[in-house]
Amino acid sequence: EDLEQAAALAQPALGVAKSPGANGSVEMMYTYSRPTGGTSVGGRYVVGGVSYEVQMSADLRTWVSAPIEEVSSAPAGDGMEDITVRVISTSSRGFLRLKVSQ
């Protein structure tokens, strides 16, 4: 599978939502599309040699793997699924991105 095609298909389907969490934290949810049939390894989803990883940053310069919990998945057709993850963080603000790599 071509990396550019994989990245294009993984564009956030519904984007990012935030809501008040416990103890005044902000609960961040991230939804994106990915191919079905992969495996989750250490916070990354790997399928066909392509890795999908939700990352977070406080300053848009330094990015780290986001601690996530899968909330839901729904078939999106053509071998794809829409995935929603909750970012587990005590930070009250930050930035999220999806890193797609080979």
Q: CATH no. for residue 53?
A: 2.60.40
Phi, psi of 68 (to 5 degrees): -125, 160
Identify whether the C-beta of residue 82 lies closer than 8 Å to the C-beta of residue 30. Answer: no
Global confidence as pTM: 0.77
Q: How far apart are CA 22 and CA 5, in angstroms?
A: 38
Closest CA to 18 of 99, 94, 97: 94
What is the domain count for the chain?
Answer: 1
Identify whether the C-beta of residue 3 lies closer than 8 Å to the C-beta of residue 100. Answer: yes
Tell me, what's the pLDDT at 67?
92
Identify whether the C-beta of residue 70 lies closer than 8 Å to the C-beta of residue 85. Answer: yes
Residue 16 domain boundaries: 3-101
Site of tokens 């601690």 = 67
Taking only the tens place, the pLDDT of each residue in 3-46 is 666 666 666 554 555 566 666 566 788 889 999 999 998 889 99
